[in-house]
Chain A
Amino acid sequence: MIEDTAVQAKEETAAESLSTRRSSSCSSSSGSGGGGDVELGGEVVGWSSYDDDAEQRLLWETKIVVRICLFEGDNGSIDQVSDVYVSVSRHEYLYQTVFEKVIPLWRHVLPSSASRTPWLEYGMLPLKWDLPCGVLHDLHCGNDDGCSSNSIWTVVAHFSNFPSTILPPFDVKESLRNHVFHSMKEASHVRMGSASRIMNMSHAAQDALWHAIRQGSYDEYAKVYGTLGFESHDGILAAVERVPVRIIVCRGAALTMNSSYEDVYISSRSMNDGSVKDCVYDIARAWMMMKKNKTIAEKNEESGMTGVQIQVGGIGMHGTEPLSYLWRTMHAPDGFLYIYVH
């Protein structure tokens, strides 16, 4: 983290680095996970348990550079407050990063009346605290040149007037951790029919897992996650028959200055394995038709969604990628595969 100095954003975007890595290890043989070639982002790649680990690591190590500015009205000093630049993994939670790394730097300038509960804003919209940073970035930036994956994303931190009609209450010490473990229970229930593996975790294991997520450390995370038994111990991946998915559908490429969360549909689902397009298109299309106030007859006449894009992990999908493969390589630490449709 560097305070108020220019930062070189990652030259290689997530899509480029993932695509480069896959091109160099392209294989036509089937991997230990079963199946054969899969088409990802327009490229044919092989897939195996080894590649799953490598791809997961790559996503964890892909960073988004965020510039955090203090809302002027919450500056209790007469001095100008320096902006803070942080490099955040797609899988980290931005609110947690701000709480741990930014607030300590601003503590001396926040007025005594300021809440210690921050909320973040981009484009006049409060950022949801319960979405991973990468998902927030996709949702709010999209094709916005001001915060594309090759530039710095600027968000504003507020310490007053929490938007309680838009965001659920946020306690910096409890809310995110509880939300992540709650999500993990849901994901476990989808995959294994039971949330017991998460519910029966020791406090030490939970602390270690949460620490790994807070630090954006894939090695730490994999070490604890591997003990939960979602994958068999002989290296053979357990079949992924049902996939925990969070579908995010947005009208338009991304939320803009004039948008509201009425333009976004977020739903957690348990989905049968299949191509990502088959799994999410019907739901996304149904919601978009509903937002357009189409009658059922009009919906049935519509031939489909042209120009609609599917993104996972910030990478555009061709649509034929198997959901199970995407989950194994790109699921978030909370156990869900986030699919962004716009």
Chain B
Amino acid sequence: MITYSEFKASIAYLLEQDLEGWFPNGHATWTWCEHGDDILVCMAGYLKIKHTILDSCVQCTEYHVCYSPIYQNPVLYMISYDQHGNPINMLDDPDGILQHAIRDHQVTVSQESHPSTHQPCLYQLHPCNTDDIIASIVSDDHGDTGVARYMLAWMSAVQCGLAPTAAVASRLLSE
């Protein structure tokens, strides 16, 4: 588990790095989004990653990495849009990243409202196993190094196309 401040700091550290080549194809933009300035209300800042794939019927996938005050861990929301900007049903594609995660990694997915923007149609990956997954990757280190690398570890483990390429992971870990 991590606090909201640690979550925010870990993302801030990630955004300072060279993230070029994170995804094996297409290009991505990384944005920290925050609504309001009061932490009591706004444990609602989140990382938005917009991954655009060219020459594909799926044009754009947005990953929203939010903070769960219940699980005190990051939680991933996703939505994909077609070339016309219309949301698509990610569960309809048997070869898509969501069905792959459900089938091969026993991930639980449901459609929920975004916790910050209340956009109603995002797919949420249930975060109840996050602690077990992260514990197998990083030590319980709440020092600067542990917090900084937490998001890297989480994204590597979350199983929905969000893991960095080996080259990027190696570069970030060596820094």
State the A residues within 8 Å of B (CB): 164-169, 175, 178-179, 182, 185-186, 189-190, 195, 199, 244, 261, 265, 267-270, 282-283, 286-287, 289-290, 296, 299
Interface of B is mostly: loop
A-facing residues in B83-120 (Cβ within 8 Å):
110-113, 118, 120
Q: A278: shortest Cβ distance to chain B, in Å?
A: 13
Question: Which one of B71, B110, B118 lies within 8 Å of A179 (CB-CB)?
Answer: B110
Q: Is the CB of B128 within 8 A of A268?
A: no
Q: With A and B bound together, what is the CA distance between A308 and B42 in angstroms?
A: 21
Residues of A contacting B70 with CB < 8 Å?
A: 186, 189-190, 244, 268-270
Known A164-B121, A186-B70, A269-B70: A296·B112 in contact at CB below 8 Å: no
Q: With A and B bound together, what is the CA distance between A179 and B121 in angstroms?
A: 14
Q: List 17 A-B contacts (CB under 8 A).
A: A164-B120, A167-B120, A168-B111, A168-B121, A189-B128, A190-B70, A195-B128, A199-B128, A265-B41, A267-B69, A269-B69, A269-B70, A270-B69, A283-B40, A286-B38, A287-B41, A296-B37
Apart from A185-B126, A267-B69: 8 A-B pairs, beta carbons within 8 A:
A164-B121, A165-B120, A169-B111, A179-B110, A186-B71, A268-B70, A283-B40, A290-B36
Name the CB-closest residue of A to B113. Answer: A168
Q: With A and B bound together, what is the CA distance between A283 and B36 in angstroms?
A: 13
Name the CB-closest residue of A to B71. Answer: A189
Q: With A and B bound together, what is the CA distance between A165 and B113 in angstroms?
A: 10
Q: With A and B bound together, what is the CA distance between A185 and B108 in angstroms?
A: 12
Q: Is the CB of B41 within 8 A of A182?
A: no
State the B residues within 8 Å of A (CB): 36-38, 40-42, 69-72, 110-113, 118, 120-121, 126, 128
Residues of A contacting B118 with CB < 8 Å?
A: 261
Q: With A and B bound together, what is the CA distance between A168 and B115 in angstroms?
A: 12
Q: With A and B bound together, what is the CA distance between A195 and B69 in angstroms?
A: 15
Q: Is the CB of B110 within 8 A of A182?
A: yes
Residues of A contacting B128 with CB < 8 Å?
A: 185, 189, 195, 199
Q: B143: shortest Cβ distance to chain A, in Å?
A: 23
Q: Is the CB of A286 within 8 A of B40?
A: yes
Residues of B contacting A167 with CB < 8 Å?
A: 120
Q: With A and B bound together, what is the CA distance between A269 and B43 in angstroms?
A: 11
Q: A104: shortest Cβ distance to chain B, in Å?
A: 26
Residues of B contacting A164 with CB < 8 Å?
A: 120-121
Residues of B contacting A296 with CB < 8 Å?
A: 37
Name the CB-closest residue of B to A264. Answer: B118
Q: A258: shortest Cβ distance to chain B, in Å?
A: 19
Q: Is the CB of B41 within 8 A of A286?
A: yes
Q: With A and B bound together, what is the CA distance between A166 and B72 in angstroms?
A: 27
Residues of A contacting B126 with CB < 8 Å?
A: 182, 185
Residues of A contacting B42 with CB < 8 Å?
A: 290
Residues of B contacting A199 with CB < 8 Å?
A: 128
Q: Is the CB of A178 within 8 A of B110?
A: yes
Known A182-B110, A282-B40, A290-B38: A166·B69 in contact at CB below 8 Å: no
Residues of A contacting B38 with CB < 8 Å?
A: 286-287, 289-290, 299
Q: B37: shortest Cβ distance to chain A, in Å?
A: 7
Residues of B contacting A179 with CB < 8 Å?
A: 110
Q: B1: shortest Cβ distance to chain A, in Å?
A: 9
Name the CB-closest residue of B to A249. Answer: B41
Q: B75: shortest Cβ distance to chain A, in Å?
A: 11
Q: A181: shortest Cβ distance to chain B, in Å?
A: 10
Q: With A and B bound together, what is the CA distance between A178 and B108 in angstroms?
A: 10
